[in-house]
C-alpha cells in the first residue's frame, strides 16, 4: 500500500478506469509530429483544439455527450514513464535527438486547460464538446486518446437513451451485453454509459460484475439455460429443508411441498387444463435455485415450453415459497413472442392470485430478453405486453445500428491566431437577439431566450499563474468545475432529455434541433473566414 | 519488483493483455448460479461446454477463430482475490453461507481442461471452437469472459481478412481505428487481431503505439492536417540547415533549395502548367517534417488541393532531400476520389522521374485513407488506382458492417451424460467415408479426404493425475499445445485462407462451405437425440 501511495504522490486524482489508458494509447504519428514540432521550435506554441461531431448517430437528431471524466483522469495523470519514452525512441522512424527524449520525460498537462460541456448533456452537430488549450505538441498527443474516450462513450450513452425513450419511463431496463461487447472494456464502459443514458441500477439478471464493482451500480442475478439442463429430476435434490422467512419454522421437504402446489394448479379449472406434466429437470433447477435464493427467486422459464412447463413450474415453487413467508421475484423470458408470452403469463399469475387467494401474485415481475433493440422494443409495445423489465445486450453495447461516432479534433487557434473558431456568446435572459443560421445569411430570426446556459466549463485549469501570460477569453471561467458523481451525471442526462421537445427525440423522422448563432457572432465568423483564407491557395 | 515477483509466484504464464480481464469480468448470474450449484452439492459435477457460433458474419461463408491466447491467459491465472470475494458476497442477492465464500477463495482452473481449434484457423458455423471441461460451477464462471474474449477477436480478425481479400495481396494494409474504436481495448485488441487477419506489420502512418508496444508490431508515422495548418509560411522556419545523408556535407538553407525545386517543376512543360502558386503553410509544414525525418518523409497532401498544391509541394521537398542523398517515402491522400487522385499523382511522379532524371521517383509510395471499407476498396480497385497502401479505421475496428458475432457457450455433457454433443471423428487420408449432412438424412455423399486435420487440441490440460479418474475420450490429446507467437498465428491464418476454394471466400454471393459428418457420427448423434429428449416434455 505504501508503494502505491508513494507512486500516487502528487496525483490530483485517480487515473482512468482502464489501466491501459496511458499516454501511449495514441497514434504513433502524434509522436512523430511532436518531434517535428520540437525540431521546428514550435512545440510550445499555444494551440486550441475543439472536439465535435458532424452528424447525430442512429438517424436521430440528438446525441448525449459522455466520456469527460475519463478524459480528465487521463489528462490529470498524463506523464510518460521511462519505459514508455524508450519505446517511443525505438518506434520513431529514423533517429531522434536526445533533447527530444528529455522533453518527453518532462511533459505533463500542467500547461493544458480543458473546457467542456457537462457530461450527460444533450448535444448537437458542430458544437464543441471539449476544448483543449495548451502547448501544441502536448495537445496533439491527447487527440487520439480523447477521441477514443469520447466517441464510444457518447455513442453508447445516446444508444441507451434512445432505448429508454422507446421502452418508456415505467419499465426497468438492464444492460447485459458483456459477452458480445467489443472487448472487455467495450463491456465495462458500456455498463457505465448505459446507466448514464437511463438504464436501471437495480438489476435482476445477467449483470456485469466488474462494472458493478467499479462504478457502484447495484447488481442482481438469475440463472441460465445451462443451469436448467444440468439437472435431471427433483429426485437428485438431497438437501430438501427450507427455514421459513421469519425463522419460526422449517419445512423438512420443500420438494414435496412444491409437488403438491404443482398438482393443485394443474387442476385449476380456470386455467383450462393447459398444464400437463411439466419438465422435471426444469422443476429440479427451479427448486434448487429457490433453496439457494428463497428471497430472490427469478426463474428462466423458456428452456422447454413457457406456458405448459416453465410458468407452472415457477408458480408451484413460488407458491411453496409463499407458504414459508418468502416472495418470489418473477420470471424471465429469453425467446419466442415476448408480447404474447408475457400477456399469457400475466393472466396465469392473476388467475392464481384470484383462485388461490395469494395477494400480489398477479404482480410477479416479468423480465424479457432476446436480441432486443429499438425496433423490437417498439414492436412489442405496439403489440401490447406485460413485461416489466427488459434486458438488452448485443444491440445496445455494440451500437449495432451504427457502430461508431465520428468525433473530430480540430485546430481552431494557434499563437492567439484564430483558425476559424466558433466562440461562445452568452446572452441574457429576456433580451431579444437576432439569430442567424451559422453558414447561411438569409436564414435569421429574432429570439428571446427562455433559458441561458453556459456550455463550456473549465474542468482542468492547468497550473495557476499562467493566466497573466495568456489572458483568458471573456467566456472562460478558470474556476475549476468538479467532476460530478455518476448518479448526478445520469440525473443530468435524464433531465436534459425531459427538457427536449418530443419531436426532436422521437425515433422516426425526428425534427432537427436548430443551432443558431447571434448576429454578433455571425459577423465575427465572417471576419475570420476572410482573414483565414490562405494566401495563394488555389481552389 | 520483488512484490510483483512474489505475487506472480506459481503463475504459469502472464495474465491477459488487459488487466481488467479478471474473474469478475463476468455476469453476476454466473456467481448466483455457482451458489445454487454449491447449495445443491452439484458444483463439482464434471461438465463439458462447447463454444460455437451459428452464422458467419458480414454475409460471408467463413470466420477466422481468434481470442484463444487471451482465454488461456485468463484461465491460467483464474483466482479470486479477497477483495473480489467480499465484493461478490455483497453483490449476491440475499445472504449466502460462509462455506461458499471459502469455496470461492479456493477455486482456480487446475481442474479445468481446455480444448480448442488453433487460433487463426478458418472455421464454420456450429463447429465447436473451444471446449471447456471441468467442475460445472467453475466452467460457468468462465462462460462470459471467454465469450467476450472470442466474440470480438474472431469478428475483427474475420473483418480484417475480408478487407485483405478485397484489397489484394500486393497492397499494404494498415489499421488505424484507435480514435473511433469501442473503447481503449476495442482498439488495442483490434490492432492485434487485424494483424492476425492479414494486415501489415510495417506501418507508415497513424499507428496505435500501445498495440505496437504490447504485441511487437513495428510502427511508423506521418503527420495530420492540424500539423499543416499550424504553420503559416516557410519564413517562420529558423533552423534551415540539413546535413546530407552520408554526413559529407551540409545544406545551409534547405528552404531555399526546396523553393528552387518548386520553381523548376512549376515550369515543366510536360506537366502542362497545372501548378500555380502552392499553399505556403503546407509547404512550411512539409519542410519542417522533412527536416525532422529526412529519411522517412511521408506527406499528407490533401489539406488544400492535392494536385495543385500538395503534390508539387511534396515533390519539391522530395527533390531537395534527394539532392542530399535522402529518399522520400511518399504521400498520403485522406479525402476526395482516391482512385483518380492516386493515378494523377503517379503520372506526376513518373514525369518528374523522366524529365528531371531522378531514378525511382515514379515509385513514390501512395497511401490512402478516408472511411475505407470493403465496398469502397472494391470500387477503387474496379476503377483502377495507383495506391500502394491503404489505411483503414472506423469500418475495420468497429466491424461497422456487423458489430457483433453471436458465439454461444452450451452445456454438452454433465457427469459423463451427453447432452447432444458433436464428437470428433478423425479419419485417415485416402479412406472413402460416407458423409452425411448433420441434420438431414437424405443429404449424403462418399468423400475421400485430401487432408485430415485434428481440430481440437489441448491448450490447458488441468492438473495431472486427474485423467485416471475421468478417462479421456479417444479424440482428446492431453499433450499440451504451446501458444504460438503472434506472427505464427498470422501465418497460419493466411495459409488457411489460401487453402480455401475462392468461391467460399469471395465477397458477393459466396458458396457455403459444407460441414458434413461421417455415417458413424451421424448414428451416434441420432442415438443421443433420442436418449436426451426429456421425459415428460410437452412440445
Assembly ipTM? 0.86
Cβ distance B210 to A20 less than 8 Å, yes or no, reads: yes
Tell me the chain B residues in contact with residue A295 when contact means C-beta distances shorter than 8 Å. Answer: 93-94
Return the DSSP state at B192: H
Residues of A in contact with B219 (CB under 8 A): 28, 91
Q: Give the closest of A47, A152, A239 to B182, CB-based.
A: A152
Hey, of A236, A297, A403, which one would you mutate to test binding to chain B, going by the most B CBs within 10 A of its CB?
A403
Q: Give the pLDDT of residue B444.
A: 67
Q: What is the pLDDT of residues A5-54, one digit of tens each?
A: 334 444 568 999 888 899 988 888 899 999 999 999 999 999 999 999 99
| C-beta of residue A109 within 8 angstroms of C-beta of residue A138 | yes
Q: How far apart are CA B78 and CA B462, in angstroms?
A: 12
Which of B41, B180, B410 is nearest residue A238 as measured by Cβ atoms? B41
Q: Do B37 and A227 touch (CB under 8 A)?
A: yes
Contact yes or no for B187/B208 (Cβ under 8 A): yes
- Cβ distance B209 to A86 under 8 Å? no
CB distance B35–A293 less than 8 Å? yes
By the 8 A CB rule, do B214 and B194 touch?
no
Determine, for residues A309 and B537 on separate chains, whether the beta-carbon distance falls below 8 Å: yes
Cell readout for A504 is: 426532436
Phi and psi (nearest 5°) for A321?
A: -60, -40
β-pairing verdict for B122-123 and B250-251: unpaired
Distance in angstroms (rounded) separating the CA atoms of residues A470 and A233: 77
pLDDT tens column, A499-534? 999 999 999 899 998 877 667 766 766 665 555 444
Is-contact A142 A48, C-beta < 8 A? no
CA distance B29 to B206: 41
- Mark yes or no for CB contact B238/A20 under 8 Å: no
CB contact under 8 A, A37 and B230: yes
Mutate to test the interface with A, among B137, B186, B222, B299 (most CBs of A within 10 A): B186
A237 Cβ contact list (under 8 Å, min separation 6)? A255, A284, A287, A288, A291, B40
Yes or no, beta carbons of B148 and A230 under 8 Å apart: no
Instruction: Name the DSSP class of A238.
Output: -
Closest CA to B411 of A145, A205, A232, A82: A232
- Does pLDDT of A478 surpass 80? no
Cell numbers 511508423 label which residue? Answer: B220
Q: In Å, how far are B100, B130, B352, B471 from B421, measured between CA atoms?
A: 31, 13, 67, 17
SS3 B266: helix
pLDDT at A26: 87
CA-based nearest distance A524→chain B, Å: 20
Residue A5 CB partners (closer than 8 Å, separation 6+): none
Cβ <8 Å between A39 and B288: yes
> Does the beta-carbon distance from A399 to B403 stay under 8 Å?
yes
Of residues B87, B208, B411, nearest to A213 (C-beta) = B87
Across A396-400, A462-466, B206-210, B444-448, which has the greatest mean pLDDT? A396-400
Looking at residues A411-425, what average pLDDT do you find? 65
Q: Which residue of A has its CA nearest to B285?
A: A36
CB B288 within 8 A of CB B282: no
Contact A20 B185 (CB under 8 A): yes
Interface contact flag, A87 B35, Cβ < 8 Å: no
B49 forms beta bridges with B132, B411
Instruction: Please report the pLDDT score of residue B217 as a whole number.
Output: 47
Across the interface, whether the CB atoms of B288 and A42 are under 8 A apart is answered: yes
Nearest to B33 among A28, A219, A227 (CB): A227
Q: What is the pLDDT of residue B515?
A: 76
Strands B408-414 and B417-418: antiparallel
Q: Which of B32, B281, B535 sits opposite A223 (nearest CB)?
A: B32
Contact call for B398 and A182, based on CB within 8 A: yes
pLDDT, tens digit, for every residue of A343-364? 999 999 999 999 999 999 999 9
Q: A417 to chain B: which residues are within 8 Å by CB?
A: 232
Of B144, B181, B292, the CB nearest to A178: B144
Q: Which residue's entry shows cell 488549450?
A: A133
Pairing of strands B46-52, B408-414: antiparallel
Q: At what angle are helices A486-499 and A136-167 packed, to 10 degrees?
A: 60
Q: Which residue of B has its CA nearest to A180?
A: B148
Among the listed ranges A137-146, A197-206, A216-225, B69-78, which one has the minimum average pLDDT value?
A: A197-206
Number of neighbouring beta carbons within 10 Å of residue A417:
15
Grid cell, residue B41, equals 452439492
Closest alpha carbon within chain A to B404:
A180
Look at B178 and A25 and tell me if their CB atoms are within 8 Å. yes
Spell out which residues of chain A touch residue B20, defining contact as CB-CB under 8 Å: 18-20, 184-185, 188, 210
CA distances to A154, A201, A500, B182, B192 from A129, in Å: 11, 27, 18, 19, 31
What's the mean pLDDT when you consider all of chain A? 85
The mean per-residue pLDDT over the stretch A419-427 comes to 41
Q: Measure CB to CB from residue B537 to each of A182, A206, A279 and give the nearest one.
A: A279
Q: In whole angstroms, what is the distance from residue A155 CA to residue B233 CA?
A: 39
Tell me the chain B residues in contact with residue A94 when contact means C-beta distances shorter than 8 Å. Answer: 293-296
Query: CA-CA distance, A231 to B535, in Å (whole number)?
Result: 13
Please report the pLDDT score of residue B484 as a whole number. 95
Return the biggest CA–CA distance within chain A: 93
Instruction: Tell me if A27 and B209 make a contact (CB, 8 A cut-off).
Output: yes
Q: Which residue of A has its CA nearest to B145?
A: A179
CB B399 within 8 A of CB B159: yes
Query: Rounded distance, CA A150 to CA B7, Å?
Result: 35
- Report how many Cβ contacts below 8 Å link chain A to chain B: 402
Using CB atoms, pick whichever of A92, A143, A288 lies closest to residue B36.
Answer: A288
- Report the candidate in A222, A232, A166, A156 with the shortest Cα–Cα distance to residue A195: A156
Whether residue B404 and residue A28 make contact (CB cut-off 8 A), yes or no, is no
Residue among B41, B140, B188 minimizing CB distance to A226: B140
- Yes or no, beta carbons of B279 and A534 under 8 Å apart: yes
Question: DSSP assignment of B196-246, as one string?
Answer: HTT--SS--SS-BHHHHHHH---------HHHHHT---GGG-----EE-TT
Q: What is the pLDDT of residues B371-420, one digit of tens each?
A: 899 999 999 999 999 999 999 999 999 999 999 999 999 999 998 887 65
- Please, are residues A219 and A189 in contact by the beta-carbon 8 Å criterion? no
- Cα separation, B155 vs B397, in Å, equals 10
Going by C-alpha positions, the residue among A42, A28, A39, A23 that lies closest to residue A96 is A39
User: Which segment, A120-129, A174-183, B530-539, is predicted with the most confidence on average?
Assistant: A120-129
Measured distance CA(B69)–CA(B75) in Å, rounded: 10
Distance CA A235, CA A253 (A): 12
- Residue B250 C-alpha from the chain's centroid: 45
User: What is the rounded CA–CA span in Å between residue A109 and residue A461?
Assistant: 10
Go through the domains of chain B in sequence order and give each one's CATH number: 2-160+405-430+454-514 (3.20.140.10), 167-397 (3.20.20.70)
- Could you list the pLDDT tens digit for every one of the 539 residues in chain B? 333 333 444 456 899 988 889 998 888 889 999 999 999 999 999 999 999 999 999 999 999 999 999 999 999 999 999 999 998 898 887 778 999 999 999 999 999 999 999 999 999 999 999 999 999 999 999 999 999 999 999 999 999 999 999 999 999 888 888 888 998 877 788 888 999 999 985 333 334 566 655 554 444 668 899 999 999 899 999 999 999 999 999 999 999 999 999 999 988 877 776 667 899 999 999 999 999 999 889 999 999 999 999 999 999 999 999 999 999 999 999 999 999 999 999 999 999 999 999 999 999 999 998 889 999 999 999 999 999 999 999 999 999 999 999 999 999 999 888 765 333 333 445 556 666 666 565 666 676 666 666 688 999 998 753 443 444 444 444 678 999 999 899 999 999 999 999 999 999 899 998 877 667 766 766 665 555 444 433 33
Q: pLDDT class for A400, splitting at 50, 70, 90?
A: very high
Q: Do A36 and B293 touch (CB under 8 A)?
A: yes
- What pLDDT does residue A183 have? 85
Query: Would you call A20 and B184 a contact, using CB atoms and an 8 Å cutoff?
Result: yes
- Quote the CA–CA distance of A121 and A62 in Å, as a whole number: 10
Q: Please tell me which of the candidates B18, B136, B399 has its beta carbon nearest to residue A20.
A: B18
Predicted confidence at residue B48, as pLDDT, reads 95
A510 min Cα distance to partner chain B (Å): 24
Say which DSSP state A168 is in. Answer: -
**CA-CA distances (angstroms) from residue B403 to A338, B18, B344, B393?**
24, 21, 36, 14
DSSP string, B339-362: HHHHHHHHHHHHHHHHHHT-TTGG
Candidates A212, A223, A404; nearest CB to B33: A223
Chain B environment of A406 (Cβ under 8 Å): 180, 394
Best mutation target among A27, A66, A81, A303 (most B Cβ atoms within 10 Å) is A27
Determine the Cα–Cα distance for residues A101 and B313; give it in Å rounded to an integer: 30
* Cβ within 8 Å, pair A148-B230: no
Say whether B180 and A31 touch across the interface (CB within 8 A): no
On chain A, the residues whose CB falls within 8 A of the CB of B289 are 33, 36
State the Cα–Cα distance between residues A169 and B355, nearest whole angstrom. Answer: 72
Residue B183 has phi, psi (to 5 degrees) of 90, 170
Of B183, B209, B237, the CB nearest to A189: B183
Amino acid at each position: 500500500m505504501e508503494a502505491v501511495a508513494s507512486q500516487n504522490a502528487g496525483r490530483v486524482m485517480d487515473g482512468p478506469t482502464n489501466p491501459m489508458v496511458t499516454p501511449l494509447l495514441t497514434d504513433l504519428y502524434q509522436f512523430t509530429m511532436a518531434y517535428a514540432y520540437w525540431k521546428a521550435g514550435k512545440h510550445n506554441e499555444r494551440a486550441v483544439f475543439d472536439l465535435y461531431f458532424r452528424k447525430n448517430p442512429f438517424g436521430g437528431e440528438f446525441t448525449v455527450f459522455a466520456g469527460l471524466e475519463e478524459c480528465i483522469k487521463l489528462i490529470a495523470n498524463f506523464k510518460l514513464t521511462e519505459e514508455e519514452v524508450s519505446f517511443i525512441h525505438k518506434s520513431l522512424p529514423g533517429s531522434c535527438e536526445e533533447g527530444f527524449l528529455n522533453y518527453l520525460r518532462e511533459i505533463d498537462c500542467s500547461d493544458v486547460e480543458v473546457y467542456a460541456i457537462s457530461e450527460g448533456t444533450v448535444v448537437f452537430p458542430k458544437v464543441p464538446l471539449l476544448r483543449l488549450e495548451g502547448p501544441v505538441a502536448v495537445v496533439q498527443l491527447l487527440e487520439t486518446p480523447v477521441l477514443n474516450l469520447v466517441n464510444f462513450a457518447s455513442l453508447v450513452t445516446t444508444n441507451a437513451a434512445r432505448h429508454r425513450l422507446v421502452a418508456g419511463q415505467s419499465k426497468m431496463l438492464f444492460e447485459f451485453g458483456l459477452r458480445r461487447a467489443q472487448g472487455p472494456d467495450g463491456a465495462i464502459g458500456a455498463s457505465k454509459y448505459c446507466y448514464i443514458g437511463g438504464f436501471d441500477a437495480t438489476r435482476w439478471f445477467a449483470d456485469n460484475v466488474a462494472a458493478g464493482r467499479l462504478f457502484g451500480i447495484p447488481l442482481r442475478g438469475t440463472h441460465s439455460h445451462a443451469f436448467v439442463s444440468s439437472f435431471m429430476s427433483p429426485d437428485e435434490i438431497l438437501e430438501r429443508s427450507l427455514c421459513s422467512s421469519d425463522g419460526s419454522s422449517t419445512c423438512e421437504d420443500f420438494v414435496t411441498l412444491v409437488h403438491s402446489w404443482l398438482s393443485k394448479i394443474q387442476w385449476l379449472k380456470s386455467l383450462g387444463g393447459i398444464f400437463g406434466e411439466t419438465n422435471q429437470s426444469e422443476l429440479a433447477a427451479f427448486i434448487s435455485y429457490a433453496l439457494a435464493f428463497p428471497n430472490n427467486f427469478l426463474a428462466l422459464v423458456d428452456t422447454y415450453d413457457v406456458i405448459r412447463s416453465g410458468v407452472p413450474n415457477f408458480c408451484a415453487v413460488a407458491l411453496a415459497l409463499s407458504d414459508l413467508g418468502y416472495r418470489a421475484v418473477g420470471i424471465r423470458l429469453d425467446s419466442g413472442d415476448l408480447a404474447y408470452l408475457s400477456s399469457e403469463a400475466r393472466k396465469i399469475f392473476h388467475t392464481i392470485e384470484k383462485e388461490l387467494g395469494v395477494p400480489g401474485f398477479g404482480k410477479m415481475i416479468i423480465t424479457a430478453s432476446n436480441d432486443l433493440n429499438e425496433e423490437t422494443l417498439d414492436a412489442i409495445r405496439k403489440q401490447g405486453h406485460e413485461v416489466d423489465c427488459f434486458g438488452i445486450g448485443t444491440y445496445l453495447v455494440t451500437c449495432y445500428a451504427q457502430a461508431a461516432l465520428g468525433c473530430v479534433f480540430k485546430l481552431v487557434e494557434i499563437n492567439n491566431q484564430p483558425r476559424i473558431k466558433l466562440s461562445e456568446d452568452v446572452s441574457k435572459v429576456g433580451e431579444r437577439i437576432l439569430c442567424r443560421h451559422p453558414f447561411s445569411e438569409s436564414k435569421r430570426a429574432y429570439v428571446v431566450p427562455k433559458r441561458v446556459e453556459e456550455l463550456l466549463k473549465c474542468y482542468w485549469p492547468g497550473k495557476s499563474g499562467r493566466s497573466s501570460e495568456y489572458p483568458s477569453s471573456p467566456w472562460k471561467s478558470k474556476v475549476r468545475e468538479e467532476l460530478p458523481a455518476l448518479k448526478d451525471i445520469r440525473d443530468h442526462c435524464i433531465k436534459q432529455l425531459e427538457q427536449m421537445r418530443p419531436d426532436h427525440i422521437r425515433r422516426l423522422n425526428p425534427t432537427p434541433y436548430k443551432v443558431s448563432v447571434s448576429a454578433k457572432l455571425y459577423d465575427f465568423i465572417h471576419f475570420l473566414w476572410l482573414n483565414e483564407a490562405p494566401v495563394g491557395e488555389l481552389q
